[in-house]
């Protein structure tokens, strides 16, 4: 890896939080907001978004009068979300806690974990712990919704063409005239089912590079039957899997899989 680096913390803290909304604005993730909206509407009742971040999904749903709370372990992400809630005159309880170990006095009709946030809990036993925590915080017949990417052998292989190469992701223009070029570098550990992703943020003032930050995280991928078994082991029932934020059953061409299941 050749980029000169100034490491960030290993999470979505600090700098990552500041530019998150420019990187992933509302509407940027394949229509997932309207998909969750429909799932929550069908089930009704109150909901908790786990890994709510700066509120990309939480805020549009609150604007439509859904009864929602959010949980995230990053204070930086939550603070941005809080500011936006205040500006928009919306209210939600926001909890700062890791999803693998939280304790809220309320129970929910829905818990949903969008945009691969569950995969960031890369330790297997902690991931199982998180599922148990969701189970505990659901009401009877409550619905759990978790979205993961579909593991595709070509891109997860040790021999994937772009393994360990820097790839351009996005260019983000800031209000003060500066710009940030975001690139990523992926290394797969296929036995462990871990993708180590490094994001590089190169800050430019005009054409002049002024700073470079590196953020690293491990993402665990899951296979379809493996994840179904995990959910069943925790006690979830009636599992359905949809593809690409549509109501189609998961099929080979889909890139995203969303698991729906119930505490009954
Ligand atoms: C990809 S962002 C998703 C944010 C938002 N849900 C969205 O869809 O735009 C992942 C979020 O999960 C949070 N996160 C990662 N690991 C977590 C953990 N173990 N417990 C709670 N939140 C976590 C991060 O801080 C970040 O805000």
Q: What is the mean pLDDT of the chain?
A: 90
CA-to-CA distance for 130 and 66, rounded, in angstroms? 24
Best residue among 24, 68, 72, 80 to mutate for probing ligand 1, ranked by most atoms within 8 Å of CB:
72
The string over 88-115, giving b where at least 16 C-beta atoms fall within 10 Å of a residue's C-beta and e elsewhere, is eebebebbeeebbebeeeebbbbbbbbb
Task: Give pLDDT tens digits for 169-218.
Answer: 999 888 788 899 999 999 999 889 999 999 888 889 988 888 888 888 89
Say if residue 10's pLDDT is above 50: no
Fold: same for 31-150+223-262 and 153-219: no
> Which atom of ligand 1 lies nearest, measured to the CA of 115?
8
Query: What pLDDT score was predicted for residue 155?
Result: 74
CA-to-CA distance for 169 and 187, rounded, in angstroms? 16
Distance 52 CA to ligand 1 centre (A): 6
Task: Give pLDDT tens digits for 130-177.
Answer: 999 999 999 999 999 999 999 987 777 766 777 888 999 999 888 788
Assign domain 31-150+223-262 to its CATH architecture. Answer: 3-Layer(aba) Sandwich (3.40)
Out of 2.20.25, 1.10.1660, 1.10.3470, 2.60.40, which CATH number does the structure's domain 153-219 have? 2.20.25
Distance 205 CA to ligand 1 centre (A): 29
Give domain limits for the chain: 31-150+223-262, 153-219
Say if residue 1's pLDDT is above 80: no
Lowest mean pLDDT among 14-18, 91-95, 211-215: 14-18
CB of 56 within 6 A of ligand 1: the answer is yes
Of the candidates 235, 252, 255, the residue with the CA atom closest to the CA atom of residue 244: 255
Query: What pLDDT score was predicted for residue 31?
Result: 84
């Amino acid at each position: 890896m050749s980029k000169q680096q100034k490491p960030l913390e290993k999470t979505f803290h600090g700098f990552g939080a500041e530019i998150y909304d420019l990187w992933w604005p509302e509407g940027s993730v394949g229509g997932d907001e309207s998909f969750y909206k429909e799932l929550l509407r069908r089930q009704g009742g109150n909901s908790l978004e786990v890994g709510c971040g700066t509120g990309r999904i939480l805020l549009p749903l609150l604007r439509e009068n859904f009864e929602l709370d959010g949980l995230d372990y990053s204070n930086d992400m939550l603070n941005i979300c809080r500011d936006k809630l205040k500006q928009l005159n919306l209210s939600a309880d926001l909890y700062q806690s890791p999803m693998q170990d939280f304790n809220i006095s309320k129970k929910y009709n829905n818990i949903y974990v969008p945009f691969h946030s569950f995969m960031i809990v890369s330790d297997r036993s902690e991931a199982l712990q998180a599922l148990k925590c969701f189970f505990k915080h659901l009401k009877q017949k409550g619905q759990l919704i978790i979205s993961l990417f579909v593991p595709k052998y070509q891109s997860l292989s040790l021999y994937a063409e772009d393994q360990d190469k820097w790839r351009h992701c996005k260019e983000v223009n800031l209000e003060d005239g500066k710009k940030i070029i975001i690139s990523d570098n992926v290394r797969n550990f296929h036995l462990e089912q871990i993708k180590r992703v490094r994001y590089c943020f190169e800050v430019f003032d005009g054409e002049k590079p002024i700073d470079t930050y590196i953020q690293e995280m491990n993402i665990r991928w899951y296979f379809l039957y493996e994840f179904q078994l995990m959910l069943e082991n925790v006690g979830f029932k009636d599992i359905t899997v949809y593809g690409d934020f549509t109501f189609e059953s998961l099929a080979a061409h889909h890139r995203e899989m969303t698991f729906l299941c119930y505490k009954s």
